[in-house]
Amino acid sequence: MSKTKTTETAKRGRRVVAGSKRQAVLAMRDAKRNSGIEIKRGRPRKQVTVEVDVVAKTKTVKSKAVAADVNEA
């Protein structure tokens, strides 16, 4: 008795429904991947901006004007 193997392809994964939201998302991912954008898993990290208070150092300006004597009047 000889055994014959039959090859059947098992359908795995989600079925393809044309015009569905999932197909649109997959098409957008493919477009990003083809344009060179790196796709990573998960939610992107929130970019944190750091605010730093900077105190400006200013030179004191001395007036060259002659100081008026207030006491003389």
- Lookup result for tokens 């150092």: 57
20: Cα within 13 Å, side-chain hemisphere: 8
pLDDT in tens, the chain (73 residues): 566 666 777 788 888 999 999 999 999 999 999 999 888 888 877 877 877 777 777 777 676 666 665 565 5
Domains in the chain: boundaries: 15-40
56: DSSP letter? P
pTM, entire model: 0.42
Largest distance between two CA atoms of the chain: 133
- Could you give the CA distance from residue 51 to residue 54 in angstroms, rounded to a whole number? 9
